[in-house]
Structure 1
Amino acid sequence: MDISGSTGAMTGEQFKRSLNDGRDVWLDGRRIENVAEHPALKPTVDEFARLLDLRFATAEARATTLFESPETGNQISYAFSLPKTQQELRAKFAASAWWMNESLGQLGRSPDFMSNVVAGLVDYADELEENRPGFGDNARNYHRYAMENDLVLTHALGDPQIDRSASPLDDPDLALRIVEEREDGVVLRGAKQLATLAPFSNEVLVYLNGVTAARGAEDFVIWFALPMNAPGLKILLREPLGNPESGHSHPLSNKYDEQDAMLFFEDVFLPRERIFLQGDSLRALKGLGRINAWSLQSTHIRFLARMKFFTSVAKKLAHAIGVDSFRGIQEQLGELVSYAQTLELGIKGAEADSSFTPAGNLVPGHSNGLGFWSADISARMVQIMRQIAASGLIMQPTEGDLASPELRPFLDLYMRGHDIGAAEKARLFRLGWELAGSGFGMRQELYEYLHRGDPGAGRTRLLRSYDMSDVDARVDELISAPLNDRALAGA
């Protein structure tokens, strides 16, 4: 892929312009002509633009998030880097921490996440080349192209929820598939869900589809990258979660609603150079862990930032209504802190347990179990915040109410808090509502539960792959003869 004219890390203005590329985006039955300026999308676009610009704001931010391309001299994102040393690995994840802290852990699809997936894709290039000649080079060229152009990416992994009891072999519309193979590429038909960040992305990466070893399923197994403005690609958005015109503040959903989308592929032509894997379900299954080795660590780092933000808001909610001295409340707040500390140690442990891939790149230790634990902890965090703040999450005045001379005396008297005024308390509780009660909060919680993959299936895979052979051998030795105190003492 041609990188001539690439400028490296995008500015906020470049990002906004990149979204108005003729893509076919739909919301509430209407086609969106200008993604960057649409009222339902503009606040999030502006926040992404702010974060992209913030990388250039100070020498420290630039040094943390960007490095110089050895090929072009462009400033490029650390998320695309392929670390070979512990120092380079730390630099890669310091950039992840910058993204996640600046966005309060609310952006599951910050550019850092998918850029790390693209890095994982190129790490798997040799194995992709074994699938079909040229696919490995396609991965290498795409990594170079995405990195030098600072592409913002989404991914679309799930097949549409039509009938999960049936097989795509019986009804091909149940999964995205190849309907025509040509010398210069393939034609795709079908749908994909759930593409988080789709309207704000430059391209989509698909790498989990039709994962079945059944004979005849080859047309459903394909990894590829596609521009969001590809002819025949239609993008359907869900209902926006923020409402800037309601009068009530939506401090998180107006800035961090990443949007989720269905992608409809209406006989979309996919050029050969954009295909990375085709027809090889076993290689696809094997590759999932490899290409997500860095992105999983990025996810842990983001969830830690979300945990800390959650805990801070919960502590302030408790203090605002004077319950932070109650033992039960302190135990709940301490529980939140214990989760943050556990995850922080897990992140450090995965980095310390790093190893080299067959491609010679340094990746963190396996930490899927930490991810499945996080999926469950997210719901517990929401439960604790609801118990602490109780009905106060529901009834809070708007800025209009606070500005009313007639209402304000009542608000100052009856809606103030412990050492906090009515206005500050209302704003604090709106943060709590956004985290633990609003549509945005519930979408975020569902996202945390599902986006690492189905936890049940993941734990089953973990059971099958986790090496306990040394302990199993000790147990077998113990039960091979009658148990007695002496045998146990020697165990």
Structure 2
Amino acid sequence: MQIADAVGAMTGERFRDSLDDGREIWLAGERVGNVAAHPAFRGTVEEFARLYDRQHDPELRDELTYVSDTGNRVSWSYHLPKNEDDLRRKYDNTRSWMRASFGQLGRAPDFMANVAVGLHDFRNELNASREGFGDHAAAYHRWAAENDLALTHALGDPQIDRSASPLDDPDLALRVVKETDNGVVLRGAKQLATLAPFAHEVLVYLNGVSAQRGAEEFVVWFALPMNAPGLRILCREPLSDPGHGHSHPFAGRFDEQDAMLFFDDVEVPWERVFLLGDGLLALKGLSRINAWSNQSTHIRFHERLRTFAAVGSMVAESIGVDGFRGIQEDLGELVSYAETARLAITGAERDGYGTPGGLYAPGDSYGLGYWSAQISSRVAEIVRRIGASGILMQPSEADLASPELRPLLDTYMRGKDIGVAEKSRLFRVAWDLVCDGFGQRQELYEYLHRGDLAAGRIRLYKRYDRSEVENRLRELIAKPL
């Protein structure tokens, strides 16, 4: 992984070209050639290209990139923050990415770049586990940053039989089948690799049996190019097909895809292996390496909440119900969620601290993540209630262009102080957010991608420091009341 030829911040053109690299992408039983040219993926590719090109806009360049010691312009997403000002500038970059995509891209490149930051921060512990592994992590971060790679991760094991253990059936989890002079050979599968067809590399750093004795063969952290020999990528059904002329303004741009990864005796070079066989260290490292990516997720979710609040308000205004007390209460609930997220994000940044790896991280904010997963479905429910049946029935662009239909549409499908064309497009946005396959996928993503909600709450409870209040209460009840 040499950086001598790296050219820094990604451009849209480089991104499109980089996807035509021989990767083995499968969709609907057929192998896809050039991802950027395939109609099922083209809209998302173009959206990422637009976002990458923003890094070279003279008005945004200093907000989104900085000059590294190589002289390259490098994304702030990969920056290693050393103090409070670094952290502020880093997350100003995150906010720009998330606002430009309405909070719809859970795998905006900023997210996994911040996981790579965490991997670098954990390098000393990785080196202590096995000499050189931490050096691999630091070198990988630098290489990914100087090339501005889009990364994905794949953390879940296949859903075959969750009542069984991989110790009894090794096909239930990705495993190391052998070590060679060149690296480790992997066999098995991983899910759910969001962004897989559009990413340059995948990071794997979690397994469900990591801490079990005898499960060492399943414990491996590594990075792998998406075009690695033996790696097959199976994509789910696309959600952005316009079908019968109905536009999908969000799905057409932000369907970031999800995929199964099949590892058919894939060899990972040693320089791309960061941890091997040490289950306890893997569990310890999971929270450490996600310290920066968690904040990226919170900022993205805040922008998603702002989008819901704005769409809900505009829908209410378009049909003249924005003055109704019940609707105003619902809209106020949406705003309260957005404000709660904003304040919590600000608090996490103000609670920043120095890490053992020499970086500066935002404060612990896992509670915010579990709250976000909990309220996401309620947010969608509110917009559905406000839009009601209008979300289901709106004319297509072809309907609007029909001379025979247009007089009827202008009379019976217009809104309050808004024409039928603008109203129908607004409601199509609402449809994408809360009703069709894209909206349902986004809602499921919010619930699942932070991990098991019940288990997370239990961990939060066990970690929470109640001692100060409990000691005062013990003093209170130690004497007659």
Category of TM-score, reference length = shorter chain: over 0.9
Residue in 2 aligned with 1:61?
A: 60
Alpha-carbon deviation of 1:210? 3.9
Taking the aligned partners of 1:332 and 1:245, their CA distance within structure 2 comes to 33
| Structure 1 residue identity aligned to 2:17 | R
CA contact (8 A) 2:210 2:282 kept: no
Q: Does 1:108 align with 2:106?
A: yes
Residue in 1 aligned with 2:186?
A: 188
- 202-211 vs 332-341, which moves further: 202-211
| Structure 1 residue identity aligned to 2:42 | K
Alpha-carbon deviation of 1:303? 0.7
Alignment match of 2:442 (pick from 422, 441, 444): 444
Q: Does 1:478 align with 2:476?
A: yes
Taking the aligned partners of 2:372 and 2:379, their CA distance within structure 1 comes to 10
Cα-to-partner distance string for 1:271-322 (whole Å, 9 max, x where unaligned): 1110011111111111111101010001111111111111101000001111
Q: Does 1:13 align with 2:13?
A: yes
CA contact (8 A) 1:19 1:35 kept: yes
Matches within 5 A, 1:211-290: 211-290=209-288
Runs of 4+ in structure 1 deviating by more than 3 angstroms, as ranges, are none
Unaligned runs of 5+ in 2: none
Taking the aligned partners of 1:33 and 1:348, their CA distance within structure 2 comes to 44
- TM-score w.r.t. the length of structure 1 is 0.97
Matches within 5 A, 1:80-91: 80-91=78-89
| Structure 2 residue identity aligned to 1:46 | E
Residue in 2 aligned with 1:489?
A: none
Taking the aligned partners of 1:211 and 1:284, their CA distance within structure 2 comes to 11
Alpha-carbon deviation of 1:245? 4.4
| Structure 2 residue identity aligned to 1:376 | Q
Matches within 5 A, 1:301-380: 301-380=299-378
Taking the aligned partners of 2:473 and 2:163, their CA distance within structure 1 comes to 40
Taking the aligned partners of 1:208 and 1:32, their CA distance within structure 2 comes to 28
Cα-to-partner distance string for 1:311-358 (whole Å, 9 max, x where unaligned): 101000001111000000000001111111111000100000000001
| Structure 1 residue identity aligned to 2:50 | R
Cα-to-partner distance string for 1:252-272 (whole Å, 9 max, x where unaligned): 001000000000000000111
Alpha-carbon deviation of 1:474? 1.8
Taking the aligned partners of 1:228 and 1:257, their CA distance within structure 2 comes to 19
SS in 2 for 1:258: coil
Unaligned runs of 5+ in 1: 485-491
Taking the aligned partners of 2:288 and 2:90, their CA distance within structure 1 comes to 17
| Structure 2 residue identity aligned to 1:23 | R
Taking the aligned partners of 2:211 and 2:92, their CA distance within structure 1 comes to 39
CA contact (8 A) 1:178 1:187 kept: yes
CA contact (8 A) 1:394 1:433 kept: yes
CA contact (8 A) 1:235 1:263 kept: yes
Alpha-carbon deviation of 1:215? 1.8
SS in 2 for 1:404: coil
Taking the aligned partners of 1:10 and 1:365, their CA distance within structure 2 comes to 30
Taking the aligned partners of 1:370 and 1:210, their CA distance within structure 2 comes to 23
| Structure 2 residue identity aligned to 1:29 | G
CA contact (8 A) 1:210 1:217 kept: no
Q: In the comparison of the two structures, how many residue pairs are matched?
A: 481
- TM-score w.r.t. the length of structure 2 is 0.99
